[in-house]
Amino acid sequence: MLVLSRKDGEWIQIGDDIRVLVKGARVSLAIDAPREITIARGELLERERGLRKETRRVME
């Protein structure tokens, strides 16, 4: 089981097509999912996308 705390405006991605956005106060989420389902914090996905863009720019 994965337990995450999220604040207003933060989000998590579950698999490829589910995004959970927190609106309001801080919440704790407990997620029980099969290992093959990817669950990621939004800020990590955004950082990864930024790194990919930067790498592509440098490689050009």
50 band by pLDDT with thresholds 50, 70 and 90: confident
pLDDT at 30 over 70: yes
Contact in structure between 10 and 43 (CB atoms under 8 Å):
yes
Three-state SS string across 1-39, please? Answer: CEEEEECCCCEEEECCCEEEECCCCCEEEEECCCCCCCE
3 vs 6: CA distance, rounded Å: 10
Mean pLDDT of 2-11: 93
